[in-house]
Structure 1
């Protein structure tokens, strides 16, 4: 279905929408790009599609024009609501706008499964939102979001490099992670100072390896909190070399070299002791 609404620059001008830095806003205006993101988030025609921070509705329009039948958009900036209402009128019965803070939403209550998140996330809360969603990963069939490229690099990083860390372990433990494509700052108004990238997470049926989540988070916090040190030193408050040996991990290794399964083994060993 083609989009017959005015160009986004006209919508922004008509409603006086200036992006607010304190809300982490960078409006995405290229409708070819928003359609590409929408296709990456698919399939869109079943269950519930959830968009966070739609702003003037660039990605919203992409999702609807690419076939979203039940789209829920969460927007805390009241200034954007009239523009989103115009989109809802152009796609009757397919868009519901919730004027609330995305950090306070019960996502499982927004609509029937399968639920898919598709969003150009505000930079200032992107990582916080991801971590909250992963507290209940099976609420979602997929999560497709735009973030700073450096965050996407951290989430998808394999062991062995500086990008690999706590966020890599958590996301890869719970999900299949894919960095899809980069987005140049010029695609946004105002242009951010960093390159962005689109990330897709697909929750695993079961975590990559068994481990108590709170214990795994303790182990990764200690290990990566002193990533220059050998694990026997970084993990000393949790058991140090003895813990490593119980988990079958070299005590002289450093955190960035340990795969997700290795951290799970450390978490199990800690929980058993």
Structure 2
């Protein structure tokens, strides 16, 4: 019988409407234990030593409002702690901005909000990164796309932290993803969304809902498969395994 390595995932949730989405289903299906902490509800931030991997989700607040949202400052510290211990970190949207600021980079409001299904272009570095390569590989044909649709919902952006490598850009924003070291990834776009989340968010912005609904029906299925391939490379490539049932703890 093979020995197993159990690695637990800490998921930090900054607002009720932005949960782990398809990531939760993946982790449960793969029997990877995870805990979701509702920071907005006042749940305490665990210490880094209690978990092996960190995921920080999105939210409408700005990292520059950390005086109003004190838990964001705790996320900075937790990010630095995980990175210093060479534990995997994944930041999504606000989580990516938290990573950037925790690593000393500036986070600022962009010229306009980037919302909907829009292209990103991967850098040559990203095409040599096996996790980003999984995201870039079309799930049907198996060919690698350097430019493809992802789901955006943000109004702020960040400079690249010193020591980080750029992984993706869009027509509007130069920094859509970066890697810091070999274990920490920041994604400005929302890799985790499920259909329910997309349609729920539609009501919060004065946008062309008909077009966004149509785009979601057109692009979502392939995007979800890309996301699952990325999860497999990010979580399972860390030699995560368990013999018992997985799910939120």
> What's the TM-score once normalised by structure 1's chain length?
0.31
Structure with higher RCO (Cα < 8 A, 6+ apart): 2
Higher helix content, 1 or 2: 1
